[in-house]
């Protein structure tokens, strides 16, 4: 049961990465971030972070570590002698979510290219849904 909860947490963080990078819900926030964030970190413009699955995945994983911690073995994190492991776990979590977000994007791209659904049919269905009186 703990493994399933951990996997759902990881999938949730990858999903959050996709919501930040691709969703229409976060589009206005991405535009605001791109227009207002001007500082650099390690030579990278932080305004570009929300446009990239790998970049966003790293930060989501880093700050999402508290979400993953309940599913990790307690002695590795909560013992006083091992408290220094917390930044290491946060960094590794960021790396893992970053990698998984890139893999998920690649899998979705592959599926999109290899599933034979005519785009004309999809576009026609979208137009019919947006204008029901058109028939």
C-alpha span between 10 and 100 (Å, rounded): 9
Which residue is listed with tokens 């790293």? 58
Cα–Cα distance list, 8 to 16, 20, 91, 92, 106 (Å): 12, 18, 20, 18, 20
Q: Is residue 57 within a helix (H) or strand (E), and if so which, with residue range? A: helix 53-63
In a 13 Å sphere around the CA of 98, the CA atoms on its Cβ side amount to 17
C-alpha span between 113 and 115 (Å, rounded): 6
Per-residue confidence (pLDDT) for residue 64, from 0 to 100: 86
Per-residue confidence (pLDDT) for residue 45, from 0 to 100: 72
Tens of pLDDT along 95-115?
999 999 999 999 988 888 887
12-48 in b/e form (b: 16+ CB < 10 A) is ebbebbbebbbeeebeeebeebeeeeeeeeeeeebbe
Q: Which residue has the higher pLDDT, 133 or 93?
A: 93
Query: Counting beta carbons within 10 angstroms of the beta carbon of residue 56, is it exposed (0 to 12), middle (13 to 18) or buried (19 or more)?
Result: buried
Highest mean pLDDT among 2-6, 28-32, 105-109: 105-109
Residue-level length of the chain: 135
Tens of pLDDT along 54-95?
989 998 998 888 777 666 655 555 555 556 677 877 888 899
Helices and strands in the chain, H and E counts: 7, 2
Per-residue confidence (pLDDT) for residue 125, from 0 to 100: 60
Per-residue confidence (pLDDT) for residue 114, from 0 to 100: 82
- In the chain, the percentage of residues whose pLDDT exceeds 70 is 70
């Amino acid at each position: 049961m703990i493994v399933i909860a951990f996997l759902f947490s990881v999938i949730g963080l990858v999903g959050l990465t996709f919501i930040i990078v691709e969703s229409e819900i976060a589009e206005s926030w991405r535009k605001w971030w791109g227009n207002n964030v001007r500082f650099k970190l390690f030579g990278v413009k932080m305004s570009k972070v929300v446009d990239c699955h790998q970049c966003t995945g790293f930060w989501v994983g880093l700050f999402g570590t508290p979400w993953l911690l309940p599913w990790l073995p307690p002695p590795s994190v909560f013992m006083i002698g091992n408290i220094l492991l917390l930044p290491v776990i946060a960094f590794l979590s960021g790396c893992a979510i970053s990698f998984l977000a890139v893999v998920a994007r690649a899998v979705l791209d592959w599926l999109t290219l290899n599933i034979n659904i005519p785009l004309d049919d999809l576009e026609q269905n979208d137009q019919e849904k947006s204008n029901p009186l058109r028939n």
